[in-house]
Chain A
Amino acid sequence: MYAEHLLKMNSLVICLAFSVVVGVIGFVSEAATTAYLYAMIELLILTYSLNLFTGFSGYINFGHVIFYGIGAYVVAVLAFNLAALLPTFLYVIAGAVFASLVAIAIGFPVLKLRGDYFAIATLGVNEAVRVIIINTRDLGESRGIAILGYIPTYDIRSLYAMLLATLFAVILITHFIYRSRLGYGLRAIKDDEDVAEAMGVDTRKYKILSYSIGAFFAGLAGGVVTLLYAYAFPDYFVIGRTIDMLVSMVLGGFGTIIGPLIGSVVYFVAKDALLIQFPFYHQVIFGIILMGLILFIPEGIVGLINRLLMKKGKKVRLE
């Protein structure tokens, strides 16, 4: 009974409500809880940003984490060189903008590729960026860039607020794109790219557009985390984060509005619990879970719920 009421409510409302609740809890709690929620919200943002491209268009992007790292490094470089000349949040925005510009630059050639080829090429791009950074002195090589003292330190609550704002933004954008022409075209591309093109969809433009919008939000998250640790280093580009994002997205449900939320929360809580129980095995377990999901429940939790709804003859669909 409650469930039906819940479903009738817009997915958007649920997500926003959730964000508000988490936000409030984060503000009033002690630092440890806030830190926990910070990490969870960061995962949420990353998953939503990946969902904007991979979820909507069906193109698997194994290298999404580079935009997170680029956002981080831009903030670090700006802080290092300009210190407190400009308000720090501008650095964060600059990082995100730069990340989306890089996405456009990469997208132009790489999005000419289809399916598998594109996915592996993104792996290559990820590695290439990491290797280049490790070998560039000005970018701190493998030590990274420390910016302690260059800019005022922020306590976790203000950064938490920044992150929350980003979360709100990405949820809203997801909702709008889902209902917009862009989202519609992306869904057609996901179903059958050739036919979509033959029906008038400018596939190149839409793919690049969603790729760079996703990059923007990942970049924001990266910028904020640099402020948190006052440090940017190559580990931001590690594939482990990609697994986090991918599993969360697949678990929740590709290309939906509420999917990334459900998936990320479940994944985050489970991962944290497993981390304590099996400090080393948890990654192995999640690899197996990913395989299991793809083989048996590729449509994720949202897909499962929708299937159940259809079986019961309900017309409502969870988005």
Chain B
Amino acid sequence: MWLELFAQTVVTGVLVGLVMALASIGMTLIFGIMRIFNIASGDLVILGCYIVFWLNTIYSLDPILGFPVALVIGVVLGAGLYYFVIRRIARKVGLRSLLVLFGVSSVLQNSMLVAWEPLTRTVPVFYSNFDVGQIVIPGNKLLPSIVSVITTVLLLVVLKYTYFGRSIRATVSNWRAASLVGVDVDKIYFAGFTIGIGLTVLSGALVALVYPIEPYGGLPYTLYAFTIVILGTVGDPIGCLVAGLLIGLATSFTGSYWTQGMSPAVSYLILVLTFLLRPEGLFGKRR
């Protein structure tokens, strides 16, 4: 019995962690390229959730089909945000970007509240569970994590093997040097931001299968993503995966052995500890 609870907790933790990791990858990409923290990340996740929810409710669209829709909407939204807002503050010194994105977050939250009411929604689609011995692998958590892993692998492949990917890595490393070598830094900023937002909204589509949805529910997701980004070292997508797993496990264990309500507090504690003990993250260089 004991073993089963433990194993079940681990399974849940891994699956949830993989989904969380995707949103953080968006954030770490944006921060790595432009040194801007996407404080509106969680609200974009919620937006992704709503996209899947409404497509399912109104058009009876299977959530799996909703995933690419969410990605596309995210990319378009990211492009719009970049053009009208971010472009003016990228690379500028100071905390203006943070406040602007805080404004974006507020606009998103309240627009969703007005448009879709403060009711808590869930997507009433259930995918079949797999049983491994006494352990249940919930389909609703397995499917999103598989999609997350596939997307992450795709992204890593692009980053490593394409010219585009290498340009991004160069910009993350040193944008001045990158522009000297012929990288069009403005294009990379645009692409990086758009992809980052797209990934974030996509991760929301995935989360829709796992957690309930409400308009003001974005903040915890933002903080989870932030914790994962810092723990995994800023700008490092693989680090995000690892850190995502760790945080997923942490929240899962808190839920199983303490109370579900305290999971956010535990992850914030991890955040604080990371800042105090290893601010450069698991894979970073010491200052």
In the complex, A touching B (Cβ < 8 A): yes
User: Is the C-beta of A6 less than 8 angstroms from some C-beta in chain B?
Assistant: no
User: Is the C-beta of A152 less than 8 angstroms from some C-beta in chain B?
Assistant: no
Alpha-carbon gap, A109 to B272, bound state (A): 8
Q: Is the CB of A124 within 8 A of B272?
A: yes
Selected interface stretch from A12-20, A22-30, A37-45, A111-119: A111-119
Q: Is the CB of B222 within 8 A of A284?
A: no
Given A135-B262, A246-B99, A287 and B272 contact (CB-CB distance below 8 Å): no
Given A60-B95, A123-B219, A287 and B276 contact (CB-CB distance below 8 Å): no
Partner of B106, one of A119, A120, A280, A290: A290
User: Is the C-beta of A319 less than 8 angstroms from some C-beta in chain B?
Assistant: no
Q: Is the CB of B265 within 8 A of A113?
A: no
Q: Is the CB of B99 within 8 A of A239?
A: no
Given A243-B106, A283-B106, A123 and B223 contact (CB-CB distance below 8 Å): yes
Q: Is the CB of A127 within 8 A of B219?
A: yes
Residue of B nearest to A279 (CB): B114
Give the chain B neighbours of A120 by CB distance below 8 A.
37, 39, 98, 223, 226
Interfacial residues of chain B within 267-284, with CB under 8 A of chain A in the complex: 268-269, 271-272, 275-276, 279
Q: Is the CB of B102 within 8 A of A290?
A: yes
Q: Is the CB of B264 within 8 A of A131?
A: yes
Q: Is the CB of A60 within 8 A of B271?
A: no
Residue of B nearest to A120 (CB): B226
User: Is the C-beta of B104 less than 8 angstroms from some C-beta in chain A?
Assistant: yes
Alpha-carbon gap, A291 to B230, bound state (A): 26
Q: Is the CB of B95 within 8 A of A115?
A: yes
Interfacial residues of chain B within 11-46, with CB under 8 A of chain A in the complex: 35, 37, 39
B215 to chain A, nearest CB (A): 11
Q: Is the CB of A295 within 8 A of B222?
A: no
User: Is the C-beta of A154 less than 8 angstroms from some C-beta in chain B?
Assistant: no
Give the chain A neighbours of B133 by CB distance below 8 A.
none
Q: Is the CB of B102 within 8 A of A246?
A: yes
Q: Is the CB of B85 within 8 A of A291?
A: yes
Residue of B nearest to A142 (CB): B261
Q: Is the CB of B272 within 8 A of A135?
A: no
Give the chain A neighbours of B105 by CB distance below 8 A.
287
User: Is the C-beta of A74 less than 8 angstroms from some C-beta in chain B?
Assistant: no
Interfacial residues of chain B within 153-207, with CB under 8 A of chain A in the complex: none
Alpha-carbon gap, A280 to B268, bound state (A): 31
Alpha-carbon gap, A250 to B95, bound state (A): 12
User: Is the C-beta of A89 less than 8 angstroms from some C-beta in chain B?
Assistant: no
Alpha-carbon gap, A240 to B216, bound state (A): 11
Q: Is the CB of B268 within 8 A of A250?
A: no
Alpha-carbon gap, A62 to B102, bound state (A): 9
Q: Is the CB of A123 within 8 A of B39?
A: yes
Give the chain A neighbours of B226 by CB distance below 8 A.
120, 123-124
Number of interface residues of B (CB under 8 A): 41
User: Is the C-beta of B56 less than 8 angstroms from some C-beta in chain A?
Assistant: no
Q: Is the CB of B98 within 8 A of A116?
A: yes
User: Is the C-beta of B57 less than 8 angstroms from some C-beta in chain A?
Assistant: no
Give the chain B neighbours of A60 by CB distance below 8 A.
95, 98-99
Given A112-B275, A120-B226, A131 and B95 contact (CB-CB distance below 8 Å): no
User: Is the C-beta of B212 less than 8 angstroms from some C-beta in chain A?
Assistant: no
Give the chain A neighbours of B35 by CB distance below 8 A.
116
Q: Is the CB of B99 within 8 A of A290?
A: yes
Interfacial residues of chain A within 295-318, with CB under 8 A of chain B in the complex: 295, 298
Q: Is the CB of B275 within 8 A of A131?
A: no
User: Is the C-beta of B136 less than 8 angstroms from some C-beta in chain A?
Assistant: no
Q: Is the CB of A286 within 8 A of B268?
A: no
Q: Is the CB of A127 within 8 A of B272?
A: no
Q: Is the CB of B261 within 8 A of A135?
A: yes
Query: What 1/0 flags go to A47-69 for Cβ under 8 Å of B?
Result: 00000000000101010000000
Give the chain A neighbours of B230 by CB distance below 8 A.
117
Q: Is the CB of A58 within 8 A of B95?
A: yes
Give the chain A neighbours of B261 by CB distance below 8 A.
131, 134-135
Give the chain B neighbours of A117 by CB distance below 8 A.
230, 275
Give the chain B neighbours of A295 by CB distance below 8 A.
85, 88-89, 96, 100
User: Is the C-beta of A90 less than 8 angstroms from some C-beta in chain B?
Assistant: no
Partner of B268, one of A112, A127, A284, A287: A127
Alpha-carbon gap, A284 to B215, bound state (A): 13
What is A's interface to B at a CB cutoff of 8 Å? 58, 60, 62, 109-110, 112-113, 115-117, 119-121, 123-125, 127-128, 131-132, 134-135, 239, 243, 246, 250, 280-281, 283-284, 286-288, 290-291, 294-295, 298
7 closest A-B pairs by beta carbon, nearest first, are: A287-B106, A287-B107, A291-B103, A283-B110, A290-B103, A128-B268, A280-B114
Using A280-B110, A291-B107 as known contacts, list a sample of 9 further A-B pairs with CB atoms less than 8 Å apart, ordered by residue number in A.
Answer: A58-B95, A62-B102, A109-B275, A109-B276, A116-B35, A123-B226, A124-B223, A124-B227, A287-B110
Q: Give me 20 A-to-B residue pairs in the complex whose CB atoms sit less than 8 angstroms apart, sorted by A's number.
A: A60-B98, A116-B35, A116-B98, A117-B275, A120-B37, A121-B272, A123-B219, A123-B222, A124-B223, A124-B271, A124-B272, A125-B268, A127-B220, A135-B262, A286-B106, A290-B99, A291-B85, A294-B89, A295-B85, A295-B89
